[in-house]
Structure 1
Amino acid sequence: GLRAKDHGTPDFDQMLKDHAHYVATLRETGAEIIELPALDEFPDAVFVEDDALCLKNCAILMRPGAVSRMGEVAMIAPAIRAQYDDISEITGPGFIEGGDILTTSREILIGKSARTDAAGVEELRAIV
């Protein structure tokens, strides 16, 4: 992967141990953890926050701006649908990714980027 400083080859076994510890710690706090299967064809799918905006009472499936990520939403959609009754989708032509969105208790703040354009922002605005 890309990194600012090369510290050598990552230790995959250690990463798996660290992840297991992280999940266990979250569970100890009472958090519900939903683990999804790995998507080898979509290596960026670990960033699930990009594929769906999950709010208190609804979820909106995003439309990623990177061609390499477009198939991720269809793969995560069943897990989102299992958690929410009210689901909308960004259908285009614009693009928007959840990583460009910040929510507060009363606002949804959206940053435009190479992966979130004005049309995507407007479509989300019309939904919420």
Structure 2
Amino acid sequence: MDGVGGTWNWYTRDGVNIPKKEIGEQVERIRARDSGDAKLFLAAVVEQLERAKRGQLVEPDEVKIAMWRARGINEIRWALDSGAWRMYFCEPLRLQRDRVMVALLFGRKVTLDEQDEDIDEANERYAWWGRAANG
């Protein structure tokens, strides 16, 4: 992804920024464990998203482009708080000239089956976003 980057657009439904809400829920779960790691977790997520904007993520450790399961869905990867985390995003063709990335879903990778469910949900969100943007 070196040198590509762009600006973030976020999947929003009924006025709610869903990926940011998902990030916030994870931060609150960490905070509820009385862990000082909540601030570090959030800082690491924000830094990686900023690096994505600058096109500085390294494949395949930090970003995976063109998921086999859902064409057009990509993932940013984190190893944080003793877990694997993913932000699924897309780069819609009609917005590539403007270098726009659409954040779709943030979640923890626990099992491959759960990851596949997250990818499927991100793909559904992408389809919904496309219909809403064109409607």
Q: Which has the higher contact order (CA 8 A, sep 6+)?
A: 2
> Whose strand proportion is higher, 1 or 2?
2
Mark yes or no: TM-score above 0.5.
Answer: no
- Bigger Rg, which one: 1
**What TM bracket, shorter-length normalisation?**
under 0.3
TM-score of the two chains, using structure 2 as the length reference: 0.23
